[in-house]
Amino acid sequence: MKAIEIHKNDGAARLGTLLTGHGNVDTPVFMPVGTQGIVKAMTHKELQEIGVTMILANAYHLYLRPGDELIRRMGGIHTFSGWDGAILTDSGGYQIFSLGVLREIKEDGVLFQSHIDGSRHFLTPEKMTKVQENIGADIAMCLDECAPYPSSYEYTNNSVELTSRWAGRCKEAKSQRQQMLFGIVQGGFYKDLRLKSAQELLEMGFDGYAIGGLSVGEPKSLMWDMVDTVIDLLPHEKPRYMMGVGMPEDILDGVARGIDMFDCIIPTRLARNGSLFTWSGRINLKNARFTEDAGPIDKACSCYTCRTFSRAYLRHLLVSHELTSFYLNTIHNVFFYVEFMKRIREAIRKGSFETFYHNFITKYEGGEFNDNDERSVCNGY
């Protein structure tokens, strides 16, 4: 199955089209996270109007509630949720990893305790492949182990070997031809183990390849060192997905290396906390300087929130704990990301990505607003 068409390269940056059963998706693409089959504080109608074409849902969460068999009986996640765009499901490797003492990793799979009701479950690669087929996502991910940072060489090597065995079992269990299956490159922060993981997955052959196990507390320089280690090994003709990384500057650095797909909770989670993206840096509406600010979040933005409301009013909603604050702020941040990716694709199309990269970083990091006073972690839901 052909998963992507690459139309142009600008350096290592790639302009392409991801081919899915629910429409073609222009790449590079950012997928808003819709863990439960919906992006928090938004409706599908608004996502479509903004220009979102693909979202990420989480098979682990949907398996626990409402259940993958129920979703199958209801016609699959697209019919059940009313979203007719593309959907990728994460197998839940990171979520299971984050359970810590509530889970036990075995050769056959993972034994874990539900964070919802304490019930015990045992998920195998075969089971998670079936769960994602029941859900009916366009792209499914192999079950993997996300090694914590830091981890010893021995632990990480054993984790890579387990992830590879699980990937082979996922591929063997796959029965739905129309659903794409991506392998996940692991290896922690050891170059030789990253290469080992990538080579083993390439020998199996998947519809696309993700780089996982990043943004788990490591320095950014180390994160990019791991990406640089494996990116040239990943096939040019297959999609390349960087999991759980999505700050604007990180997306630019990923695109510059040849990454096609990104996801992150950052735009929606930060929106609910009043942290909003602008072309001149990130602002925090909790700041008292916005109390009587009659301007929009960003004069350069044409989203509904910016066209209609002032910073002062949006700050009032936020500090008053009005639920509408979640809605209006999320509209803006998701709109910003969609527009950001459009401009990236246009720059690649024109052969001016490097210029766009430097112009954006200069204005974003040195602009009027620079409230980036927190280190944000993308992984999680």
| Residues identified as active-site | 90, 263
In contact, 110 and 122? CB cutoff 8 Å: yes
Q: Is the peptide bond before 28 cis (omega within 30 degrees of 0)?
A: yes
State how far the Cα of 303 lies from the Cα of 61, in Å rounded to an integer: 31
Q: How far apart are CA 278 and CA 299, in angstroms?
A: 9
| Cα distance between residue 93 and residue 290, in whole Å | 41
Residues 6+ apart with CB under 8 A from 64: 114, 116, 121
Rounded to 5 degrees, what are φ and ψ at 360? -65, -50
How far is Cα 309 from Cα 314, in angstroms, rounded to an integer?
A: 7
* Burial category of 345 from C-beta neighbours within 10 Å (exposed 0-12, middle 13-18, buried 19 and up): buried
Closest to 133 measured CA to CA, from 106, 96, 170, 162: 170
End-to-end CA distance of the chain: 30
